[in-house]
Structure 1
Amino acid sequence: MRVQLRQATLQDAIELAGKLRQGDLNELQALGHTNIDECLMSSFNVSHIAYALTLEDELIGIQGLAKGLNDKHGAIWAMGSERTKEVPRDIVRLGFEFTNECLGHYPAVGNMVYCNNKLHIRWLKLIGYTFIRELNYNNNNFYEFVKIKEYV
């Protein structure tokens, strides 16, 4: 089994919203989102890069890149179904490749992750992100993470 990538569609965002991994659902709720369909559609719509991850022709995740707070920072995001746990090596490999693609658009990419989303935290560390601080948002704790383009 190998995860395949393709361009994501708005329909993918709607489909994934109905089968999110519990940890991802908890993170969106901690951010204050109550309409998960709307949240994922909005994330897709503001992204200038978005890929669907499929396993055996089943949608298991979406990863995207949107403009951050300024022209030097991209906001990277990913959400998945429970099936992502079946292929952790593929998820980390594709996350690493996607991060490098994103660093071709911005000198730094990052975001924040819910402190209870242990699986995403582990994957982000394996991909090479640096956790720079703990934030309190909406009365919940998050870690801000970043990866900076290496110039040789």
Structure 2
Amino acid sequence: MAANLSTADRAELDAGGKSPKAALWAALQLPGQCLTMLDHTDGGAPMGMFGVVATDDPMVGVVWALTTDRVRRHRVRFHKVARQWVEWANAVWPLLTNVIWAGNLGHLVWLRALGFTLLSEHTANGHLFYEFVRTRPCVIQHQSQSPRSPPPP
């Protein structure tokens, strides 16, 4: 899959000083979850890998994804599955985070569509990166009165 990485992901890895092969290998070695997307319309060819790295803080997970250009052929399905997976991951890790290269405009838009927020800027290897986060939605439920109960005084 490293040889077929999308142009956008390859550029982001270059900006971060990592090779595609090293990034994928590192993802397989880290604690957490690593999944592979397959294109079943093309003999099960890999479309990408994604996951979440567990941190020392059980409330925080570091999300990541690396894709091939095959994802573009299945854009709607990919986004639907990505949204479901992010919601699942956010239920396990209340705070999801990572950094993204500022030059990766398409992925910045995609992250916002998935509910992530940009927090801060960092420079690495002479390139601008943004830290992004998504926090688990909190719902405060008030004990409601039954319809037959009198209103509070």
TM-score of the pair, normalised by structure 2: 0.82
Q: Structure 1: any 5+ residue segments left out of the alignment?
A: 1-15
CA RMSD of aligned residues (A): 1.5
Higher RCO (CA 8 Å, separation ≥ 6 residues): 1
Q: Structure 2: any 5+ residue segments left out of the alignment?
A: 140-153
Give the aligned partner of residue 18 of structure 1. 3
What's the % identity of the aligned pairs? 22
Question: Could you tell me whether the CA contact under 8 Å between 1:31 and 1:138 is conserved in 2?
Answer: yes
Asked whether 1:97 is paired with 2:81, we answer: no
Give the aligned partner of residue 30 of structure 2. 46
Question: Could you tell me whether the CA contact under 8 Å between 1:19 and 1:81 is conserved in 2?
Answer: yes
Question: Could you tell me whether the CA contact under 8 Å between 2:47 and 2:71 is conserved in 1?
Answer: yes
- CA 1:28 to 1:102, structure 2 compared with 1: closer, same or farther past 3 Å? same
How many Å separate the matches in 1 of 2:121 and 2:56? Answer: 18
Asked whether 1:81 is paired with 2:68, we answer: yes
How many Å separate the matches in 1 of 2:31 and 2:85? Answer: 13
Counterpart of 1:26 in structure 2: which amino acid?
Answer: A
How many Å separate the matches in 1 of 2:95 and 2:9? Answer: 23
Aligned pairs (5 A) from 1:58-73: 58-68=45-55, 70-73=57-60
Query: Structure 1 stretches (4+) deviating beyond 2 angstroms?
Result: 68-72
Larger Cα-atom Rg: 2
Q: Deviation at 1:137?
A: 1.6
Asked whether 1:143 is paired with 2:127, we answer: no
TM-score of the pair, normalised by structure 1: 0.82
